[in-house]
Amino acid sequence: MRAWLSLSVAFVGGVVQSDALAQGAATRVAGVRSGLPSADVQELFHLSLVDDWAAAQRTGEITDSTRDVSLAEEGYIHCSFANQVAATAARFYGDLDTVVLLRIDPALVTSPIVVEDLVGSGVDFPHVYGPIPLAAVIDAQVAVPDRLAC
């Protein structure tokens, strides 16, 4: 069961639809570096704390990397693909009552996106090496971390 509360956010046209994502469709993104054979990147998801999302709405860009760590500190913003969100939320945010799940159109991200395995786990995650403009956020939902599913 999903626990969602919708936040107001500007919706951007020309976005990969969730049914296309489920069929494995991807959005082509220029300048994406990837350990994968192609430079196709699916929709991205980023988990933010409620206060970090409020700050992003004030400044016009996302600069939180992960829980209590900024882009300036980490050097990139941690993101996930749809099939990685639930595990990431449970592992890093499971003790919180709420987080904000951001769905991001990679075609609207102006910073480099790199799909890579930085910890040697055998699993590639997308990382954004710079701020994410608010215009790239196509959906924002307040959610309970241990009940997340995309």
Tell me what pLDDT residue 42 has. 86
CATH number at residue 129: 3.20.170.20
Determine the distance from the C-alpha atom of residue 11 to the mean position of all C-alpha atoms in its chain, rounded to a whole number.
15
Tell me what pLDDT residue 95 has. 94
Domain carrying residue 143? 4-147
Other beta carbons within 10 angstroms of residue 136's beta carbon come to 24
Q: What is the pTM of this model?
A: 0.74
Tell me what pLDDT residue 40 has. 61
- Alpha helices, DSSP H only, in 48-139? 50-59, 71-74, 85-93
Q: Identify which of 109, 100, 101, 103 has the alpha carbon closest to the alpha carbon of residue 128.
A: 109
Distance CA 114, CA 33 (A): 5
Q: In what order do the strands lie in the sheet with 4-6?
A: 4-6, 137-143, 99-104, 44-48
- pLDDT tens string, the chain, 150 residues long: the values are 233 333 333 322 322 222 222 223 233 333 344 443 334 668 999 999 999 999 999 999 999 999 999 999 999 999 999 999 999 999 999 999 999 999 999 999 999 999 999 988 899 999 999 999 999 999 999 999 877 766
Tell me what pLDDT residue 51 has. 96
Tell me what pLDDT residue 124 has. 94
Residue 60 gets the label, from left (phi > 0), alpha (psi -120 to 50) or beta, of: left
Based on the structure, what is the number of domains in the chain? 1
Tell me what pLDDT residue 150 has. 60
Contact 131, 61 (CB under 8 A): yes
Distance CA 100, CA 79 (A): 13
Distance CA 129, CA 145 (A): 25
Tell me what pLDDT residue 35 has. 43
